[in-house]
Amino acid sequence: MPKISTACLYAFIFSQTVCGYNLVQTYSGSSFFDSWTFADGWDHWTNGDIIYLPQAQAGNLTRLTENGNVQIRMDDFTGLGDNMKRNSIRIEGKQIFNSTNAVVVFDVVHVPTGCSVSNTGKGGSLWSKSAIFVNDWPKGGEVDIMEAVNKMTTNQMALHTDISCTMSTSNPNQSGNAGNADCQVTFGPDGKAINPQGCTVLDTQPQSYSTLAESGGGVWVAEYGAQALNIWFFPRANVPDALKGTPETLDTAALGKPVANYPSSSTCDISKALYPQHLVIDVTACGDCKFGGSMNRGFSFFLGAKGVLESTGCTPSLPNDCYNSYVHLPDNYHDAYCEWIHHSFCVSNNVGPVEIAAIKIFGDDTTLLQNSTELANIFGAPSATNTGSHTTPPRATSVSRGGSTSTSTPSSASKIISASVGSLLFMAALMSLSF
């Protein structure tokens, strides 16, 4: 059982009955990448102008920095010719965690920023998604912990569900500004997502995105509970004592009011909206996350009617042409790197490496579930496709890798292990898991 705090005021306010958790998993240092699976091939999730490299070919796009931080980044050294895509990295956590009893902590030094860069789950940066219904987005739910575009100054959080789920646009139990209230994503006859942004909350802290690195980074905390999903962000100077050092326990009541609070209610059952999750980190460019596309719909509530690039501090050299304005030139991507985990629906960011000082999961003995390899053995072989609503590559896929040019066919499936839900064994397996 988790360690129960004696001070659960905020937990009570936010409909959480458990606010004390024990450390159950840490990702950091030289063994960091052992816990992740690398995508391999074209970014079919967002139609991005990116080729994701497998671990064997990742080279200096993944590294351990001198101070021990983990970094993944987009290629910022190769000049590209016409119709060539830029190399990058997408990794998904092998570990599955209980979506009703877990707290994930990300200690981040740098987030990807820059014109044309996308940090999303259907193009993301720091997020989680269903580890069971991996081929049927958004079934099982998606949580965007860090998501922003181009030179946005602040972070946007979001919850995506496949079941009916709405949130109040006036929530006194969160410090962020509520945007879209409808969390449910549906699809039209053409297969395109309707309401792809989910229900959103905009952080008001200026250090929560484009100036994060300048302020020394910060810490995100996401609490997955049966009665509420809560997300906090703390700039480095404001990190509370409960998160400093190497704590073995975490009391979320000590964190104060969250930036985003998604409570379970008569209009949304959080415990049914979110299935067991796993973490994702990726950096992509252009694709659907550009002028008038999915990303514009996702951010139009806060950005207004202008094109996304112009609304977020970017002036493309060719109007309405993200690819030819940015992707060819490596100098555009010196800031396209991450240091942590991410997933969301379409976010064009300034590019930059992501440095992850540490990622931790807190909970109890019911928090960490079977990993994706074990689930695949139970449920059957992975599906041959994982394309969602993105099925057609927008242009040729010749790609320069480390200075040499080769031709790569867009992948219709990443090498991320997925679970087939078609067999009767699926239900039997779920009965043994603690949701």
Give, as one character, the DSSP assignment of residue 196: T
* 378-413 pLDDT tens trace: 444 333 333 333 333 333 333 433 333 333 333 322
Q: Is residue 70 part of a domain?
A: yes
In the predicted model, is pLDDT for residue 134 greater than 90?
no
Q: Do residues 98 and 200 touch, judged by C-beta distance below 8 A? A: no
Q: Is residue 38 part of a domain?
A: yes
In angstroms, the CA 2 to CA 20 distance is: 6
In angstroms, the CA 258 to CA 252 distance is: 10
pLDDT bucket at 316, cuts 50 / 70 / 90: confident
Token code pair at residue 283 = 């950096």
Token code pair at residue 323 = 């690819």
Q: What is the pLDDT of residue 349?
A: 38
DSSP 279-322: EEEE-EESTTSSTTSHHHHHHHHHH-SS-HHHHTT---SSTT-H
In angstroms, the CA 97 to CA 406 distance is: 38
Q: What is the pLDDT of residue 373?
A: 56
DSSP 73-141: E---S----TTEEEEE-EEEES--B-TTEEEEEEEEEE---STTEE-BTTTBSEEEEESSSTTSTTTT-
Helix ranges restricted to H, 316-419? 322, 372-379
Best CA proximity match to 122, nearest among 346, 276, 317: 346
pLDDT bucket at 307, cuts 50 / 70 / 90: low
Q: Is residue 246 part of a domain?
A: yes
Percentage of the chain beyond pLDDT 90 is: 43
Residue entry with tokens 């992975």: 382
* 8-25 pLDDT tens trace: 444 444 444 445 899 999
* 166-217 pLDDT tens trace: 999 999 999 999 999 999 999 999 988 899 889 999 999 988 877 888 888 9
Token code pair at residue 178 = 């509520």
Q: Is residue 166 part of a domain?
A: yes
Q: What is the pLDDT of residue 247?
A: 92
Best CA proximity match to 393, nearest among 158, 18, 142, 85: 85
Residue entry with tokens 């004696």: 6
Q: Is residue 1 part of a domain?
A: no
pLDDT greater at residue 350 or residue 79: 79
In angstroms, the CA 98 to CA 104 distance is: 11
In angstroms, the CA 6 to CA 225 distance is: 18
* 45-92 pLDDT tens trace: 877 889 999 999 999 899 998 888 999 889 999 999 888 999 999 999
Q: State residue 418 phi and psi, 5-degree precision.
A: -120, 160
CA 279 to chain centroid, in Å, comes to 7
Token code pair at residue 2 = 């988790």
Q: What is the pLDDT of residue 212?
A: 85
3-class DSSP state for residue 370?
coil
Domain count across the chain: 1
| Sheet containing strand 126-130, strands side by side | 36-38, 90-93, 277-282, 126-130, 142-146, 156-160, 199-202, 177-178
Q: Is residue 4 part of a domain?
A: no
Q: What is the pLDDT of residue 364?
A: 95
Q: What integer best gives the mean pLDDT of the chain?
A: 75
Burial tier of 282 (Cβ tally within 10 Å: 0-12, 13-18, 19+) = buried
Token code pair at residue 53 = 């490299």
CATH of the domain at 205: 2.60.120.200
In angstroms, the CA 306 to CA 112 distance is: 22
Give, as one character, the DSSP assignment of residue 374: H
In angstroms, the CA 117 to CA 125 distance is: 10
Radius of gyration for the alpha carbons in the chain, expressed in angstroms and rounded: 20
Q: What is the pLDDT of residue 414?
A: 29
Q: Is residue 338 part of a domain?
A: yes
* 252-294 pLDDT tens trace: 999 999 999 999 999 999 999 999 999 998 888 886 643 333 3
Q: Do β-strands 398-401 and 142-146 pair in parallel, antiparallel, or remain unpaired?
A: unpaired
Q: Do β-strands 84-88 and 398-401 pair in parallel, antiparallel, or remain unpaired?
A: parallel
Neighbours of 56 (CB within 10 A): 8
Q: Is residue 410 part of a domain?
A: yes
Q: What is the pLDDT of residue 329?
A: 87
Token code pair at residue 21 = 């958790």
Residue-range definition of the domain harbouring residue 402:
9-431
Neighbours of 235 (CB within 10 A): 17
Q: What is the pLDDT of residue 188?
A: 93
- Written as one letter, the residue type at 140 is G
Q: Do β-strands 117-118 and 348-349 pair in parallel, antiparallel, or remain unpaired?
A: antiparallel
